[in-house]
Chain A
Amino acid sequence: MTKPILSVRNICKSFNKKEILSNLSFDVQKGEIKVLIGPSGGGKSSLLQCLNFLIFADSGEISFKGNSINPKKPTELRKYRQQVGMIFQDFNLFEHLTALENVTIALRKVRKFTKKEATERALKELTLVGLQDKTDHYPAQLSGGQKQRVSIARALAMDPTILLLDEPTSALDPELVNEVLQVIKKLADNGMTMIMATHQMDFAQNIAHEILFIENGTIIEQGSPKELLCESQKLSRTYSFCSALGIHTGEK
């Protein structure tokens, strides 16, 4: 195997003495898609937030392209975060900015693009997610699915090396889930490296290279969708979790 793009070693995190991530380690290769599944409260969001230091782990190490990241160095941390896109469950669009401005603001203030360059780039990303005709809308005027697509455009505009997605469709009405999944599928087809927490098992099976089943802050099982979800693996924790959710599983 080649050198991993992201390497996570022995991440531990406690809140109020309660351990919510215990000694997690894994590697992510370039172009790889890892899917995090597991029960609510298992630690998926905390793990993703530790990966770009929105939460500081108590111990452990995160290396990006072979360099260990020191979050105490603000410049180094910001440089790293620019290369790690984050998609939140609740979109977290900037409420006071239009769809276009949501995408341009980081280009202008962080990457120091001129207004014209930023606008061109933002339009390109908004077109990619199918929102070229909504550029002047404020978040309050957009549907959940549209908001999430803007937030994907916002992340993509930073040219991230890897995308972290925290249940990107679980705050959406069922009929809006697909439009967001389609965009994510498009990114997957283009070879984007991703770590995604989701309950959309059909979709996960479809795009994941590896599934990590996370419960009580540890990786209980990991493997390809085939290894974890085919009929012959009825005893796997992942399989029973998915059946309990009433999700159709099986070899594809």
Chain B
Amino acid sequence: MEELFLSFMNALVIGVPKFFFPQIDPFYTEELLPLLNIGLYNSILLIIPSASIGFILGAILGSLQTYANPVVAKTATIYSQIFRGTPLVLQLLIIYFGLPAFNIVLSPYFAAVIGFTLCTSAYQAEYIRGALVSIKKEQTLAAYALGFSKFATIKNIILPQALRRALPGCGNEIIYLIKYSSLAYVVTFYELTGNGKKIASLTFRVLDSYFILALYYLFLVSIATLLLHYLEKNILSQQ
């Protein structure tokens, strides 16, 4: 998978320009771009599980905040407060460097994924909760009148409607996640930004390294935006 991805990206961003501009500065084709492509692969490895698990966890947390008994609801709210109220860098540092004190030792990759997932789920929970409370209570009454249980009502009637309403906010959070995934370097996981920094400091080609790095993020965010728009169109148009 990694090989396939790398050969595709290398062909796309190195092979093609080289074909049209054979005189291109080898700093790009031999050093910067190959390393950024590896970084891009690692970034995607971080973003996809963090975004999807974080979204599902957020949906569960948001539902608990809204519908669970007061103790559980309060706990979910406090969780959300803590992760939204403290810097993500600090959360990552605690997970990677702090947890070993309790004999929990995580690889840089897992530390980063767990940190991002927990943090993003706290934000997603807020979007979901807001959407849940916006669904009219008559929808619940109609379901109860048909013999639905409370759980079945939330799962089949309320959540599907709330998710449609929450989608724009949730999508925004995924775009934020793409950008703050660059913090993985603090737990020594080298994704896009980590690799970009490495090259920049080794070669002193700071400006062009960071400029191209920025283009990579723009590329990632553009793809995510397209996907989210597609989802929104296809789900939201049903109403």
Contact = CB atoms under 8 A, between A and B. Distances in A.
A138 B156 CA distance: 16
B142 A88 contact: yes
B98 interface: no
A93 interface: yes
B3 interface: no
B84 interface: no
A3 B90 CA distance: 71
A74 B147 CA distance: 10
Interface string B115-158: 00000000000000000000000110111111111001000110
Contacts of A49: 141
B141 A54 contact: yes
Main DSSP-derived SS at the B contact region: helix
A78, A79, A140: residue with the most chain B Cβ atoms closer than 10 Å: A78
B145 A96 contact: no
A109 interface: yes
A110 B147 contact: yes
B164 interface: yes
B238 interface: yes
Nearest to B159: A96
Q: Is the interface on chain A under 10, 10 to 19, 20 to 34, or 35 or more residues?
A: 20 to 34
A74 B148 CA distance: 10
Nearest to B155: A109
Contacts of B149: 74, 78
A193 B144 CA distance: 20
A52 interface: yes
Contacts of A78: 147-149
Interface residues of B, number: 19
B239 interface: yes
B160 interface: yes
A113 to B, nearest CB: 13
B138 A92 contact: yes
B182 interface: no
A81, A92, A140, A155: residue with the most chain B Cβ atoms closer than 10 Å: A92
A158 B138 contact: no
Contacts of B146: 81-82, 106, 110, 154-155, 158
Contacts of B157: 94, 105
A242 B149 CA distance: 40
B152 A90 contact: no
B161 interface: yes
Interface string A164-186: 00000000000000000000000
B134 to A, nearest CB: 12
A189 interface: no
A209 B238 CA distance: 43
Interface of B: 138-139, 141-149, 152, 156-157, 160-161, 164, 238-239
Interface of A: 49, 52, 54, 74, 78-79, 81-82, 84-86, 88, 90, 92-96, 105-106, 109-110, 138, 140, 151, 154-155, 158
24 contacts: A78-B147, A78-B148, A81-B146, A82-B147, A85-B145, A86-B145, A92-B138, A92-B142, A93-B142, A94-B143, A96-B160, A96-B161, A96-B239, A105-B156, A105-B157, A106-B146, A109-B148, A109-B156, A110-B146, A110-B147, A110-B148, A138-B239, A155-B145, A158-B147
Q: Which 6 A-B pairs have the closest CB atoms?
A: A82-B147, A92-B142, A86-B145, A106-B146, A92-B138, A110-B147
